């Protein structure tokens, strides 16, 4: 199990039962951000950040919280927008595992640094970071991956997620912030799992309500200073180990990718592993340079 750091004495933004926790969400227009906003808007006081070019997202999300628009490269804008918020949920990123380095560097490296640094400057107490299974996707598919395994990215996108986790550890250790990274598995509609060219997606699937629950558990936790948790549902076969999320956060996932089709339950895990596919090196963003 990963050694999760217990909280030290923190300078916190005060909250009371009568005052909903103020949560700032980047990437709010994406699938995960939209699900989080819709599910938690009555529980948290949300500020939802969307890109300047995503006016349709801003209009659609306005029922769930305050809308802020801008760009990840504008650190000064974030310093101002984040003031008064207790928690940052950082979802904004280039999401493609096939993206080239120039795009990944802008959005996932520089953009993540800007948002985290702005959060520290604005007095935010806690950061939740949307990491990914891609941070450890270099392991053989038949292995169940625990959070204490060394990072092993299978693509440059995964490399950038390792950067975000490392930056968060620094902020927890040296800047006294609370930081949680969630290594999100296959967040997609259940029906799309059966259209996938790899059955491994079934072992990594996370439903919207399970992922939102895990984020809520992290936001409401008062005992940990730092943690990395695997974000998948209660699948019959699990590509990621979620025992520490259960034990430390009380995570209780409700869904199982294998429950929809009884025939799937006849599969054995080695058969699943045999059906998986890994990214071909020629598809890696590194090919832009070499």
Kindly report, residue by residue over 242-269, the tens digit of the pLDDT.
999 999 999 999 999 888 655 565 554 4
| Number of domains forming the structure of the chain | 1
Q: Is the dihedral of CA 177, 80, 18, 89 positive or negative?
A: negative
Looking at residue 261, its pLDDT comes to 58
Strands across the sheet with 45-51, in order? Answer: 5-6, 224-231, 178-184, 126-132, 87-90, 22-26, 45-51, 66-70
Mean pLDDT of 140-168: 95
pLDDT of 32 higher than 90? yes
Residue 149, phi then psi, degrees to nearest 5: -65, 145
The enclosing domain of 201 has a CATH number of: 3.40.50.720
On the question of pLDDT at 10 being above 70, the answer is: no
Q: How far apart are CA 99 and CA 123, in angstroms?
A: 33
Structural domain of residue 76, as residue ranges?
Answer: 5-288
* pLDDT score at 274: 41
User: Quick one: average pLDDT of 12-39?
Assistant: 85
Report the chain's mean pLDDT, rounded to a whole number.
88
How far does the chain reach from its first CA to its final CA, in angstroms? Answer: 38
Q: What is the DSSP letter of 259?
A: G
Residue with tokens 């392991």: 139
Q: Would you say 148 and 139 are in contact if contact means Cβ atoms under 8 Å apart?
A: no
- The pLDDT, as a whole number, for residue 13 is 47
């Amino acid at each position: 199990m990963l050694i999760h750091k217990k909280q030290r004495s923190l300078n916190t933004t005060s909250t009371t039962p009568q005052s909903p926790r103020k949560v700032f969400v980047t990437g709010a227009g994406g699938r995960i951000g939209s699900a989080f906003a819709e599910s938690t808007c009555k529980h948290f006081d949300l500020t939802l950040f969307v890109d300047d070019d995503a006016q349709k997202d801003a209009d659609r999300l306005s029922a769930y919280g305050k809308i802020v628009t801008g760009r990840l490269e504008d650190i000064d804008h974030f310093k101002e927008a984040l003031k008064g918020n207790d928690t940052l949920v950082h979802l904004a990123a280039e999401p493609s595992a096939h993206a080239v380095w120039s795009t990944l560097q802008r959005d996932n490296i520089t953009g993540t640094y800007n948002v985290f640094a702005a959060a520290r400057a604005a007095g935010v107490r806690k950061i939740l970071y949307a990491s990914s299974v891609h941070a450890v996707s270099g392991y053989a598919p038949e292995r169940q991956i625990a959070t204490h395994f060394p990072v092993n990215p299978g693509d440059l996108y995964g490399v950038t997620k390792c950067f975000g986790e490392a930056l968060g550890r620094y902020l927890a250790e040296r800047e006294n912030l609370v930081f949680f990274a969630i290594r999100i598995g296959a967040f997609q509609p259940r029906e799309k799992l059966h259209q996938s060219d790899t059955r491994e997606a079934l072992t990594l699937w996370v439903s919207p309500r399970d992922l939102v629950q895990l984020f809520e558990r992290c936001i409401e936790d008062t005992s940990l200073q730092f943690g990395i948790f695997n974000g998948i549902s209660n699948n019959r076969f699990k590509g990621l180990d979620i025992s520490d999320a259960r034990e430390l956060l009380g995570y209780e996932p409700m869904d199982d990718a294998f429950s929809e089709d009884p025939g799937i339950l006849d599969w054995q895990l080695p058969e699943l592993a045999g059906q998986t596919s890994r990214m071909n090196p020629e598809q890696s963003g590194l090919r832009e340079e070499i």
